Amino acid sequence: MKVVLITGATRNTGLAVAKRFAAEGYAVAITSRDGTSARETAEALEKEYAVPVRGYEMQLTDVRSIRQVFDRLQQDFGQLDVFVANSAHLGVGYSLLESTEEEFDAVADVNIKGTFFCCQCAARLMKETGGSIVTVGSVQGTGGLHGRAVYGMSKAALSVLVRYMAYELGQYHIRANNVVAGAVHSSRWDSLSSEELAARRSRYPAGRESTEEEIANAVWFLSSDQAASITGTDLTVDSGLTACLLPYTKKE
């Protein structure tokens, strides 16, 4: 049975990814900053999908905590086939002019340093067997928005990281790719009025945001044998948002 580890998978997109792999018959390991929440979510997934699921506490700001989780995973499952770097500090409101050193470090520690050392641990486990690493990036790593400068930089770093992983790890049959997500529907959208929702959706050529399951589909595809020759690249899932030169308007 193949094994996947997904960070930050007790809710939203991470949970959708965990469900997708469980439905495909993978043994699943998930992490959270909150160990209780990780274990409870794992228990629920195990019941629902009848595959082995483990939940681990991981603090992405602490490289020792990251290494401990990969050691536990090796003890519990004996192998790792797919690693999905999903957790992120969203860095909302950290603008170019106002961000403090502490705010910058908080985002960089999780999104760049934490992700890097997770990928290093994953690659070390996959070295003998091969495997696939998928990071979850963002369109904010390709263009600007108010208050997201630090987050955007950290997400752009993932595009570079997967290229280096493709280069250095290809000889071990390890592939690495980045899903560049656009707007993704989550519980955070629940507070929007129907007018606000319609206005937001009118900005996307595809007419709507992605679902969490659609991001999970992209992660699944990149991990699967169907993508066996795809490595070191970005797969953008953004309803056409970054295809627009100017704000999108429908032709009257």
Ligand X SMILES: NC(=O)c1ccc[n+]([C@@H]2O[C@H](COP(=O)([O-])OP(=O)(O)OC[C@H]3O[C@@H](n4cnc5c(N)ncnc54)[C@H](OP(=O)(O)O)[C@@H]3O)[C@@H](O)[C@H]2O)c1
- What are the residues binding ligand X (CB under 6 A)? 8, 10-14, 32-34, 37, 60, 86-90, 110, 136, 138, 181, 183-184, 186
| Dihedral (Cα; 164, 169, 173, 174), 10-degree rounding | -60
Residue of 49, 56, 151, 204 marked active site? 151
Least distance between ligand X and beta carbon 90 (Å): 6
Residue (48 or 188) nearer to ligand X, CB: 188
Residue 151 bears catalytic tag: yes
In what side-by-side order are the strands of the sheet with 233-237? Answer: 53-57, 27-32, 3-6, 82-85, 131-138, 174-181, 233-237
Least distance between ligand X and beta carbon 187 (Å): 9
Residue (131 or 152) nearer to ligand X, CB: 152
Residue (115 or 231) nearer to ligand X, CB: 115
Residue (62 or 128) nearer to ligand X, CB: 62
Least distance between ligand X and beta carbon 53 (Å): 15
Residue (79 or 186) nearer to ligand X, CB: 186
CB atoms near residue 114 (< 10 Å): 24
Least distance between ligand X and beta carbon 10 (Å): 5
For residues 93 and 103, is the Cβ–Cβ distance under 8 A?
no
Q: Measured between alpha carbons, how far is 217 from 100 in angstroms, rounded to an integer?
A: 37
Least distance between ligand X and beta carbon 121 (Å): 16
Amino acid at 117: F
Please list the active-site residues. Answer: 151
